[in-house]
Each structure stands twice: as C-alpha cells, then as structure tokens.
Structure 1
Amino acid sequence: MEYGSVGGGTSGGGGGDHDSSDPQRRKKRYHRHTALQIQKLESMFKECPHPDEKQRLQLSRELGLAPRQIKFWFQNRRTQMKAQHERADNSSLRAENDKIRCENIAIREALKNVICPSCGGPPVTEDSYFDEHKLRMENVQLKEELDRVSSIAAKYIGRPISQLPPVQPFHISSLDLSMGNFGAQGIGGPSLDLDLIPTSSNLAFQPPVISDMDKSLMTDVAANAMEELLRLLQTNEPLWMKSSADGRDVLNLDSYQRIFPRAMSHLKNPNVRIEASRDSGVVIMNGVALVDMFMDSNKWVESFPTMVSVAKTIEVISSGMLGSHSGSLQLMYEELQVLSPLVPTREFCILRYCQQIEQGLWAIVSVSYDIPQFASQFRCHRLPSGCLIQDMPNGYSKVTWVEHVEIEDKTTTHQLYRDLIHSGMAFGAERWLATLQRMCERVACQMVSGNSTRDLGGVIPSPEGKRSMMKLAQRMVSSFCSSISTSNSHRWSTLSGLHDVGVRVTLHKSTDPGQPNGVVLSAATTFSLPVSPQNVFSFFKDERTRPQWDVLSSGNAVQEVAHITNGSHPGNCISVLRAYNTSQNNMLILQESCVDSSGSLVVYCPVDLPAINIAMSGEDPSYIPLLPSGFAISPDGRPDQGDGASTSSNTQGSTARLSGSLITVAFQILVSSLPSAKLNLESVNTVNNLIGTTVQQIKAAMNCPSS
C-alpha cells in the first residue's frame, strides 16, 4: 500500500503548521513517497506505531520529508491497521451470529414436536429460554450489534460491505380502500392492493454509532474534499473546457484524473457514468443567510422543494466556530429528485463541510461518505461538489456551483428522460443555481411590503397578510412536489391505458397538520410535447385557456381576483382564481406558478373563501387543509434540429436550443376519511380516465398528435 500526504505553506510564502488561522488558505499538494521512504516508514511503524515529535523529526531528516507528512503517514497507517482488525472482528461476529440463528431455528422446530406427557398436547412452560419472543429479541440484538460493527469497518474500507445481509425494511401493511366521495360508490369489483404509507415518516432508520475514530476520519475526508472543490471552483483550463454546442463548462476527465489520481478509482466499473457541471451567477441574498440555509437540513428542503425530496442531519460532527458555521461538519442523508414518477431519486449519505475562506467568502462542500444501512440500490456517489459564496454590495452574493457525481446505472433510464439526465441538466449545477436564484427572489419579495397585490372580497392584504399567503402557497408547492416523488416514502403502482407510460398511483395516509385527515390517492403521468417549455408554461398560466384543461373550472371562464408577485419574471406569482357560473360560489383556486431556465411549475388547489380570508388577514395559515394538483414542466434535453423550438439561456449568457418539453401532470384526491374501506378497479379506472382526458385536452389545445 502506498500512502500519500499533503503539505505546503501559505500562498504568501513561509509560514509553518502553526499558522492555521491565516485567512489565506494554504495550497496543499499531493506527494508520492518513494519505495525507500515507504520501506523505512514501515520498519519504524513495526517498532513504534506512535512516534513522538523527536522521532518524527529524526525521520524527517533521514527521509527528506516534512514532519507533517511523517505525522499524516503514521495516522493513515494506524487507520489501515484498525480497519484490518475491524474486518476480522466483523467476520468472526457474523459467523457467530449465523451459528446462533441456526441454533434458534432448530430449537423452534423442536418445540413444535414436543408433546406434554399429561395431556398429550403442547407443553406450557415458564422457561424464558424456550420462549419464541425471547429468542426473536436476542436475534434482533445480535443483528444490531453486527450492523454496528459492520458499519464501523465499512467506513475504513471506503465502500459498503456487499456481503452483509440487507437491513430489514420497515413492514407496512396494505389496505383496501373505497373511493368514497370520488368514484362510484358500492361497486363491488376486484380490489387493487396498494401500500399505505404515512407521509409523516419519510425515513425509518436508526442513526449509526459514530466513534471518535470515525469523526477523525470524517474530518480528514472533508478537508481533502474542500481542497479538491476549491481547485474545481477556481481553475478553468485544463480542468474545465467550454462546450462548443452550448457554451457550458465541461470537465476534462483526463486532466482531472492527472490532478486527482486517487479520486476516480471507481471508474473501472463499465456501468459507471460521470456527470460534472459548473455554473455561476448572482443571488439576491447575503452570504451568511445562504450558509445558514445550506447547513440546516430543514431549510435545505424548504429552499429546494423541486430538487430535494428528503434531507436529514444524521449527526453534527463539528458545530464550527462560536457564532459562525465556519468549520461546521455534518453527516447528512438526502434524496434528490426530478418531478416525475419515471425518474428514481438519487440517494446520498454525505459529509457537508463549511469553511470561511476570508471575510465575505465562504465555501461549502458535500462529498459521499458511505454507510451500509444507507446504501441505495440506484448507486450514486458524490465526488467533491458544492459552491463558493462571495458577498457583494447591497446584500447580493456571487455563487459558483460545482456538481460532480458518479452514477452506476443498474437500471435503464426511461427513454423520455434519457437525454435530459445524460446531458447533466436534470441534476446539474445549472438547475441548482437557477432554482436558488428563483427561491432567493421569492424570499426577497416576501420581505418587501410594497409588492403589488390585488383586493379580494374587501380584504386588502397587509404585509403580514401577503407573507401569510406566500407561506400557504409555499406549503402547497412542497406538498405537490412530495406527492410525485419517487422517494422511499412512496410505492408507485403502474396502471395501463395511457400511451406507453401509463398512470402511476400511490396511496398514503395523511395525518400532518394542514392536510385533510384520511387516505390520499396520488396519481401522475409524464408525457412529451414538441413545444418549447416556455410556451407550455404560458398555456397553463393563462387563465383564458384554463377551461380547456381544468376539470375544477367545469369548462367555465376563470378570473384572477388576487395576485401577489414573488419574482422578477412575470410568471413567478401567486394567484387566487374564481370560476364563474358554478354552484360553489365560495370555492376558490389558490395557484402558484414559478419558472426559471431549468423548468417551471403550475400548482393549484381548491380553497374556500373563509380560508383565503384568514390567510389574507395575516393569521397563521398552517392548519388550512391543502391537497394540490398541477404540472411540472422541463426541457426534454434534446438539441433543436431547426423545427422552430424556442431558445433557452443559461445563467452565463450562452444559449442552447431545445426541441420540446416533458410534462408531468399529477392529481391528489382524498379517497376516504374512514380507517378502512375498499379501493376497487372501477374507481381506479376513473382516476386513469381523469388523467387521460386531461392529457388529451392539453394535446388538442396545443395542436399536437393525440397518439
């Protein structure tokens, strides 16, 4: 095994190891030891694994290495030895666990054949050793101990231990439901079994046990990742080249592998694909607020609802400097999504590390740190990724973003999304930055009291009322994005009958505040149109064309009766709509539309007039029930061949012509408020026909083929 170490002084020359508080971060270089140096170090390690400072200085003089390099070499070597011991212990424990499990099975089988000599039946005993429940509890405890040791050992190896048995999934029983107020009642037909999943529990995992040795390793991994990220952020050629097709930054893999030879050891797998992108732009938020957003998992999800379906902080390894996030290191779990039931989420267990480079300049890096219990079937590995945040005048920030991911494609990407995903646009830096810019504009509009709004039924929204309405709409959008996620919290079933994709349906039990109590059916499908994303968004946004597709309006004219702007683009707004000539005069439609260069959303929900007045008056809208539906629109990722599709601009000013759109339509319906009922196929067909009719109406309105 060859060990490398890093060293170097500050960019200003001179300086020693003690000068770590210098705001000019030292550029560190990788050093490859010679065979003679390694031989001498190995010999010393056998005699003394923990050399003192005097011994390290002596080795430094003999081998021509810096004392810091000697120190790092011995740290790495001790870590390797620790991993070897852990692997041996893990193998022994696993064998012992299997032996005990087999013994328990044999005991249970023997108990089935025991006959009581008095009555001829099975014996009744008080002996806890023969109690089946006791045996099961002992097995659970053994497995937990095995998983703990395996987790620790795997961290030193750097990858999950594939031989380990998988973590047993949380058992969720299925439930037959009736459509209640949605479909035909009382129709007795074959039932469709769908898993019932509580929305309040996206993840059911137990935090791993993290030792001091683990934390030391995590700190080293994060520090090395930060060095690599800063190189990627601040270097152009030869690391980054401009694409001749669209002007985007493209990573030169040959140059990258020469500069970081140990970083791409996973590429021997022919199924591994690399996605790397970089983008920069100006954001309407100061650096401190951005850092706080990135280092708080709850704010992270709230700020990127269209991209982050789940984010949880597993453990805070280091809280950083007092009153600052600088030096903060967290172990996090996150799932990233594209808003379609056709695209699996990407799961990561990452280290997120924040460092203040100098006054007004921050860097945040995320890098995969594999733990067996979080291993995903859809294999993704995040190489050092993140952003550089530089404060600008007037509360603005310049953000440079890098995304760098290895994807092991064990499943085939659906043909509709193949171009978008393989181009890197679906999860790339451009989409992250465009979403961040739009969300920061939304926050800025929420803080401005003079934004234009319109009167609704005599209620003139105050600044508090406007913020309350924006909070209500934000919760609506988050609920919509969650409803069509392919996260582990959803189990989708496919219905046939609509083109080659079908309608995907899932059930979940709604118990959270602000949602109707009961069982909710989510149904969604995705289809493509040879129309630009901008034109598709305008079609859904225009209330004059709404009767052509919206079943809620019953074909009647719709008028916007309240309007709140929440971005510089006119399409970024919150609206309250009223459909005329309907029997439900008190029923309104709350809608939020948002658009940026990466895609757009139109999300809406029926809300009664008293609830709207509550929000407009500035009261807390958290308990207003919402069950949103809507559309997610994205480019299809295919370059335009001159058929007249529109032009889309990225944040750096270059243009890439896109040929069409991918549209996901989704509905949420309260199936039943009863604890048990039955979902029959007739009702499922009703949902299927509802989405199918909506899709056909959209295609007809936009003069597109219905096939």
Structure 2
Amino acid sequence: MEYHSGGSGSPGDHHHHHHGSSDSQRRKKRYHRHTANQIQRLEAMFKECPHPDEKQRLQLSRELALAPRQIKFWFQNRRTQMKAQHERADNCQLRAENDKIRCENIAIREALKNVICPSCGGPPINDDCYFDEQKLRIENAQLKEELDRVSSIAAKYIGRPISQLPPVTPIHISSLDLSMGSFGGHGMGGGPSLDLDLLPGSSSTMQNVPYQPPCLTEMEKSVMSDIATNAMDELVRLLQTDDPLWMKSNTDGRDVLNLDTYDRMFPKANNRLKNPNIRTEASRDSGVVIMNGLTLVEMFMDANKWMELFPTIVAMAKTIEVIASGMMGGHSGSLQLMYEELQVLSPLVPIREFYFLRYCQQIEQGLWAIVDVSYDFPHDNQFAPQFRCHRLPSGCFIQDMPNGYSKVTWIEHLEIEDKNPVHRLYRNVIYSSAAFGAERFLTTLQRMCERLACLMVSANSTGNLSGVIPSPEGKRSMMKLAQRMVTNFCASISASASHRWTTLSALNEIGVRVTVRKSTDPGQPNGVVLSAATTIWLPLPPQTVFNFFKDERKRSQWDVLSNGNAVQEVAHIANGAHPGNCISVLRAYNTSQNNMLILQESCVDSSGSLVVYCPVDLTAINMAMNGEDPSCIPLLPSGFTITSDGNQNDSNNNNIQSGGGGNGDGASTSSNTNIGNKSSGGSLITVAFQIMVSSLPSAKLNMESVATVNGLIGETVQHIKAALNCPSS
C-alpha cells in the first residue's frame, strides 16, 4: 500500500510537485512540515483512535489549522506504517520461535542418547510408551493443525511457503512426553488434554540442582568468605538485640522486626531496591530442644541430616561445595555453599529455592552460631522460579543446657519478590511469616528431636501394646519405615522445579492438581505413579480437624477405601509427649484383605499437623517389627496436612507462641497443646493421594487412572465436610 500525501509531513514526507502552473506554486507554498506540536497532537489522537470519523477529523483540522484532507492522509499513512512495523515484529518473533524449537529439538535428541533404562541399565527401548496411542494420535493431529496454522501465518508474513524454512527434524514422540503445554496451550478440539510431565525417578532420589554453578575460583571463594563473615556479624547482633530492633506484636505476641531500626543499624541493607513488589519476611523465636548442641551443629552442617530434621519444610538440600572445613576437626569455621528448596505442604504454594552460604562458628564454650545468607548466581535459570527469594542473614544460636538439652534462638529474614499473587487461601499464613518463618522451623525441630529421643530409648515406652513390637530394633525399624513414608508423602505434594502440577477439575474452588513420575526407588513400587492433591478451607480450628483424622473409630467416615469398615489399632509407638505424635499399625475389619495393614504416622505441633498413612502387607510389617532393614519395603503414602488459616482476630493468639515462649525455660512440648486456640480462625487442609498407574514398564497413562484419583479426592473431600458438618459447597 502506498503512502498518501494529500498533506505533507510525517510519515514519509512525500512532496508532490505539480509542474507548470502558478496554481502549483500556490499549492506548494501551502505544503509544509507539520510542527512538533501538531504531530504530538495527531499521535495522541492516533493512540486513542486510529480511525477517526469525519467529525473528529474536522475538529482536529480546526484545532491544528490543517486541511481535513491533510488530517485524513496523515492517519492513513500512520496506519500503514504501524502495520509494517507489526509485520516486521511478527516475522522476527516467528523466526526466533523457529530457532528455539530447533535448539530444543537438538537438546532433546542429545538427552535421549544419554538416557539409560532403569531396570536393565541399557539404552532405552523406543516403544517405551507411557501414553495411550489414542492420546498420541489426537496429539499428532493437533500438532499438525498447529503447524498448518503457523505455516499459513508465516507464508503471509515471510512471503514464501514454510517448506523453504530451515527444516526441523522430527523425533519419535513415543520416546518422550511432549506435553500439550509447550504448544501454545490450545485445548483439544474433542478429546481431553493432559499436560502431565513424566518425571524420571521418584522425588526422593531427585538430587538434581536446577543450576549447577561452574567450578569456583579462589577469588569467588574469598568473596564468599567475606560475605559469610559479615553475615555472621549481622546475625549475632540480630539475635542479641531486642527493643527497638524487635518488637512484640500485639496480636499474637510474636517478635516483629522494626525495619526502620534495622535500616539504621545495617545501612547496607538499604539496597531494598525500593521495588514495590519486594516485601520483607522477618521472624524470631526461641525454645528448648531435647538434643545437645554439638549434635545439632553436626546435623545442620550435613545436607542429608538437615533434610531429615525438617521433612515437612525442606523438600531438598544439597551441599554444592565445601569452601572451608572447620578447625581441628570441629565445625567451627566451616563454610559451605548449599542449595535448598523449602515447601509449604500444598500444591497452591510454590516452592522457594535458595543458593546460600552456611557458616558455623563456635562463639564460646557451649554456644554456636550458624548463619545462612543467599549467594545469587547471575545465571539464567531455565527453571526460573515464579518469584525471587533472597535470604538476608538468618540462622540460629545453639546454646548447650544441662541434661543434654539446648536452647535454640532462630531468625528467618527474607526478601521476597512475588511475580504472581499469593493464593488467597494462604495470604495470611505467608504474609505473617508463619509459612516459612522461625516458629515453624523451631517447632518442627523440637518435635523431630523429641522423635529422635524416643528412637534412642528402648522399647519400654511403647505403652500398653509394647508386647506387639518385641525389641528396640523392631521399634527402631518401624520408626525408620514411618519416617520414610512421611518424607515420601511431603515430596509428593511439593511443586518444585522438577514437579509441575496440572490442574484437572473444578472439583472445588481450587481444583485437583496432578503430577506424574516414574518411580525407580528401591523403597517405592516400580512403575508410573500419579500424585494428586487439593487444598480446602474448613471453618474449624486445626486441633478439631486433627483429632477427627486421628480417631480410628471415625476413620470409616472419611476413608473411601475402607468401604465403611471399622479399623482397630494393633500396634502403637509414641513419638513424643503429645499423644498426637505417634506411629500406629491399623487393621481394617475387611475379610477380603486380611494380609493388608495400614501404617500411619501423625505429627502435631503449634505450626500444624500431619496424618500420613499407607497400606503395607503383613509380611513386610512383621519384617520391620522383627528389626529387619525396612528400606526395601515399597511405600505409596497418602494423607492430610492441617494448618491454621492465619486469621488473627482473636485475643488468645499469644497462646500460639512456640515452646518455651521465648524465655527458654519452658519444656520443649509446652507449645504443642496450644495448637488451634484460634477460636475465630479456620483450617487449611491439603488432601493428597498417590496411586500406581501401572507396574508395567510399558505402562500407559490413561484417562481412567486420572479420573480414578480425581474421584477419590472428590469423594474424600465430600465425606470430610459431611462428617464435620461443614457446608459442602
């Protein structure tokens, strides 16, 4: 389309010269470049309305002292120019997308060369197909449609047919799950679409860090040492200073950081970027823990033990490099670069990822300080998290006390940049620092140390059923089995870089999220496992809900799989002073499956509670009870997590202070009994199931198994609401 030049000026500045008449001279004089002011006014109008009608054109011509024709032609030219720009941009974008697909294709083919079959150690067999052929056919047809659509657009913009573009080599779809999500998200025309990534291995073996930093130079190590030393100085001051740096909240008695005082004390922290999307989470708490200081320090400095201590919070931890080892074989002066993923047990809360330095120092006899501070790599992470978390100096004092106890004072201090809004159900919990704060770490630590103490003592504390578990070894073996079950359960809920959730149905306001993985762990059934979870809100205090799930007499009211049959506890191991912390073996009165028992562990502290269970056959339970190594018993746990919804409009909330209330003289379990005193608040319940889709290596993930797990969750949620008299909307 050509430029019209009935007027002059931008764009184009074409001047038509009419030769040979005085008339033309006169007209030439009337041609002039538009003034900056006129162009500005025309551009503003164009932004508002690229196609002005006659009335608008006349008004502009009066305002700008231009002929109506000039106005008309200016708009025509501007529209043409705009269209050309768009076409150029689209063209570039298409080319970039084409390049990206080619690169991905090469990467995928390279990756496929390195895949090893988990069962035989050889290369993969090409027909290793986990998905219905039908689904693949539909998907192929859809991809063809998509390709045709892109081809016609490309042909229009590029001016030649797409076949002349650089070729994209096809690969066998059977060897990969090309999830629907990567193709512009166009839904299926007819059949159902499943965006399920098949994940290699089970979560417990997924020790792959999203970004593996290159080998560190001496220069970088010395920078890290400086950062760690400064962080330690800041942490010690934060731990030792009270008012005006930390103030008691008048709603719940928690310690709240006064940011003005903090900025004055630590001026370098003013790099708060003044970004309106960045918010600070700061919390401090202290309590008594039933474990001596040195053992705690050793566990904190070992990434695997760190995960074991916090199975409900730390989804993954790994030491990337030891930068300095401690002096004289101890841990004082030890500095490590670590990676971790922290979770809240709900598919609605994305995982938080940190690369951080952990530095340990013995301050004096019997007192250690451990500091964590973020170390941000300038990497372009392909799993870029949905938000950026930066840990400012955080950590704890560990002070030895008599009788093998320690007093632990803990600080969590984070800067969070949310790109996506926090899900409204979790807003209170996350903004109040309850989700990832000091109190949750400390109460979990108290509970886990109590559990470890119970593991140490001999079997005489198993209560009136101690006769069932004949030996301390048997009890220890059962506790190890239950701990693995809880860890596996927590890993199946977290939505990490390696676990992507797909929303399935509008069963409730949130929908059920599902994810699929191929399980190859020795302690897991071999095959394809489907995890599904949803979170619901109930207008009841957490303690009420926990008691309901704990009561085996009420189990038939919610357990869809029990077919209404009652269950009976046949063995019981106490994991702590609170009766809710225990491991049980339950037998269902169901004649058809006499050899099936249910292993269950429940845990409760002031930050929330869990009930996790798993069917285990009789011979496996007997094996564990006799003290044999339980690590090869396959587990596929399901269960519930229960936390307060964080509604804090109740004056009793200062009861929710964690053990010892911050003065260090309370017993480590004093907090547990206070869970759920929030009379006004409700509870957030996550319901999660895992099912074996198939144990065949050539398993197909069909809609049937997805529908099964969806139905299972839907029915369970309805049963829970009915049993607790909650509206079932």
TM over 0.5: yes
Tell me which amino acid in the other structure corresponds to 2:177. Answer: S
Deviates more, 1:221-230 or 1:553-562: 553-562
Specify which structure has the higher proportion of helix.
Answer: 2
Match of residue 439 from structure 2: 430
Tell me which amino acid in the other structure corresponds to 1:600. Answer: S
Match of residue 461 from structure 1: 470
Q: Give 1:530 deviation, angstroms.
A: 0.7
Q: Is the 8 A contact 2:286 2:658 kept in 1?
A: no
Q: If the length of structure 2 is used for normalisation, what is the TM-score?
A: 0.70
SS of the residue 2:360 aligns to = strand
Separation (CA, whole Å) in 1 of partners of 2:563 and 2:345: 27
Give the one of 266, 288, 291 matched to 2:294.
Answer: 288
Give the one of 314, 318, 321 matched to 2:320.
Answer: 314
Superposed CA offset, 1:155-181 (max 9, x none): xxxxxxxxxxxxxxxx993279xxxxx
Tell me which amino acid in the other structure corresponds to 1:579. Answer: A
Give the one of 396, 403, 417 matched to 1:387.
Answer: 396
Match of residue 597 from structure 1: 606
Superposed CA offset, 1:434-480 (max 9, x none): 00000000000000004433688985420011000000000000000
Superposed CA offset, 1:192-214 (max 9, x none): 24111122334254342200000
Match of residue 54 from structure 2: none
Match of residue 71 from structure 2: none
Q: Is the 8 A contact 1:515 1:627 kept in 2?
A: yes
5 Å matches for 1:58-73?
A: none
Q: Is the 8 A contact 2:288 2:407 kept in 1?
A: yes
Assess, with a 3 A threshold, how the Cα gap between structure 1 residues 279 and 634 changes in structure 2: closer, same or farther. Answer: same
Assess, with a 3 A threshold, how the Cα gap between structure 1 residues 683 and 252 changes in structure 2: closer, same or farther. Answer: same
Tell me which amino acid in the other structure corresponds to 2:326. Answer: G
Assess, with a 3 A threshold, how the Cα gap between structure 1 residues 645 and 690 changes in structure 2: closer, same or farther. Answer: farther
Q: Give 1:672 deviation, angstroms.
A: 0.8
Q: Give 1:244 deviation, angstroms.
A: 1.1
Q: Is the 8 A contact 2:356 2:374 kept in 1?
A: yes
Q: Is the 8 A contact 2:560 2:715 kept in 1?
A: no
Match of residue 192 from structure 1: 194
Give the one of 224, 230, 233 matched to 2:230.
Answer: 224
- Unaligned 5+ residue runs, structure 1? 1-101, 110-131, 138-170, 177-187
Separation (CA, whole Å) in 2 of partners of 1:476 and 1:581: 24
Superposed CA offset, 1:94-152 (max 9, x none): xxxxxxxx9xx9xx99xxxxxxxxxxxxxxxxxxxxxx99xx99xxxxxxxxxxxxxxx
SS of the residue 1:314 aligns to = strand
Assess, with a 3 A threshold, how the Cα gap between structure 1 residues 547 and 442 changes in structure 2: closer, same or farther. Answer: same
Match of residue 719 from structure 2: 697
Assess, with a 3 A threshold, how the Cα gap between structure 1 residues 641 and 392 changes in structure 2: closer, same or farther. Answer: closer
Match of residue 359 from structure 1: 365
Match of residue 79 from structure 1: none
Q: Give 1:350 deviation, angstroms.
A: 0.3
- Unaligned 5+ residue runs, structure 2? 1-95, 112-172, 180-189, 663-673
Match of residue 650 from structure 1: 658
Tell me which amino acid in the other structure corresponds to 1:297. Answer: A
SS of the residue 2:328 aligns to = coil
SS of the residue 1:674 aligns to = coil
Match of residue 329 from structure 2: 323
Deviates more, 1:493-502 or 1:348-357: 493-502
Deviates more, 1:618-627 or 1:203-212: 203-212
SS of the residue 1:416 aligns to = helix
Match of residue 515 from structure 2: 506
SS of the residue 1:669 aligns to = strand
Assess, with a 3 A threshold, how the Cα gap between structure 1 residues 501 and 191 changes in structure 2: closer, same or farther. Answer: closer
Q: Give 1:323 deviation, angstroms.
A: 1.9
Assess, with a 3 A threshold, how the Cα gap between structure 1 residues 640 and 463 changes in structure 2: closer, same or farther. Answer: same
SS of the residue 1:696 aligns to = helix
Q: Is the 8 A contact 1:379 1:409 kept in 2?
A: yes
Q: If the length of structure 1 is used for normalisation, what is the TM-score?
A: 0.72
Separation (CA, whole Å) in 2 of partners of 1:609 and 1:458: 17
Deviates more, 1:587-596 or 1:671-680: 671-680
Q: Give 1:488 deviation, angstroms.
A: 1.2
Separation (CA, whole Å) in 1 of partners of 2:702 and 2:526: 21
Q: Is the 8 A contact 1:600 1:634 kept in 2?
A: yes
Q: CA RMSD in A?
A: 2.7
Match of residue 674 from structure 1: 696
Separation (CA, whole Å) in 2 of partners of 1:554 and 1:369: 52
Q: Give 1:330 deviation, angstroms.
A: 0.3
Match of residue 251 from structure 1: 257
Q: Give 1:498 deviation, angstroms.
A: 1.2
Tell me which amino acid in the other structure corresponds to 1:577. Answer: L
Assess, with a 3 A threshold, how the Cα gap between structure 1 residues 254 and 460 changes in structure 2: closer, same or farther. Answer: closer
Assess, with a 3 A threshold, how the Cα gap between structure 1 residues 333 and 437 changes in structure 2: closer, same or farther. Answer: same
Q: Is the 8 A contact 1:645 1:659 kept in 2?
A: no
Assess, with a 3 A threshold, how the Cα gap between structure 1 residues 456 and 606 changes in structure 2: closer, same or farther. Answer: farther
Deviates more, 1:679-688 or 1:498-507: 679-688
Q: Give 1:690 deviation, angstroms.
A: 1.1
Separation (CA, whole Å) in 1 of partners of 2:461 and 2:398: 31
Separation (CA, whole Å) in 2 of partners of 1:488 and 1:442: 30
Superposed CA offset, 1:560-610 (max 9, x none): 000000111010000000011331001000000000000000000000111
Assess, with a 3 A threshold, how the Cα gap between structure 1 residues 451 and 271 changes in structure 2: closer, same or farther. Answer: farther
Match of residue 561 from structure 2: 552
Tell me which amino acid in the other structure corresponds to 1:203. Answer: N
Separation (CA, whole Å) in 2 of partners of 1:468 and 1:583: 28
Match of residue 473 from structure 1: 482
SS of the residue 2:691 aligns to = strand
Match of residue 76 from structure 1: none
Larger radius of gyration: 2
Q: Give 1:648 deviation, angstroms.
A: 3.7
Q: Is the 8 A contact 1:430 1:651 kept in 2?
A: no
Match of residue 12 from structure 2: none
Separation (CA, whole Å) in 1 of partners of 2:404 and 2:467: 36
SS of the residue 1:614 aligns to = helix
Q: Give 1:499 deviation, angstroms.
A: 1.5
Match of residue 47 from structure 2: none
Tell me which amino acid in the other structure corresponds to 2:330. Answer: S
Match of residue 173 from structure 1: 176
Assess, with a 3 A threshold, how the Cα gap between structure 1 residues 272 and 460 changes in structure 2: closer, same or farther. Answer: closer
Separation (CA, whole Å) in 1 of partners of 2:270 and 2:412: 15
Assess, with a 3 A threshold, how the Cα gap between structure 1 residues 641 and 444 changes in structure 2: closer, same or farther. Answer: closer
Match of residue 401 from structure 1: 410
Assess, with a 3 A threshold, how the Cα gap between structure 1 residues 258 and 647 changes in structure 2: closer, same or farther. Answer: closer
Give the one of 356, 362, 386 matched to 1:350.
Answer: 356
Q: Is the 8 A contact 1:189 1:682 kept in 2?
A: no
Separation (CA, whole Å) in 2 of partners of 1:460 and 1:406: 48
Give the one of 264, 267, 278 matched to 1:261.
Answer: 267
Superposed CA offset, 1:410-442 (max 9, x none): 111001101110011001101110000000000
SS of the residue 2:298 aligns to = helix
Tell me which amino acid in the other structure corresponds to 2:199. Answer: I
Separation (CA, whole Å) in 1 of partners of 2:316 and 2:270: 27
Tell me which amino acid in the other structure corresponds to 1:370. Answer: D
Tell me which amino acid in the other structure corresponds to 1:209. Answer: C
Separation (CA, whole Å) in 1 of partners of 2:197 and 2:341: 21
Assess, with a 3 A threshold, how the Cα gap between structure 1 residues 645 and 524 changes in structure 2: closer, same or farther. Answer: farther
Q: Give 1:677 deviation, angstroms.
A: 3.6
5 Å matches for 1:31-70?
A: none
Separation (CA, whole Å) in 2 of partners of 1:427 and 1:416: 16
Match of residue 589 from structure 2: 580
Q: Is the 8 A contact 1:633 1:661 kept in 2?
A: yes
Q: Is the 8 A contact 1:191 1:681 kept in 2?
A: no
Match of residue 279 from structure 2: 273
Separation (CA, whole Å) in 1 of partners of 2:217 and 2:321: 11
Q: State the identity as a percent.
A: 74
SS of the residue 1:263 aligns to = helix
Separation (CA, whole Å) in 2 of partners of 1:451 and 1:660: 38
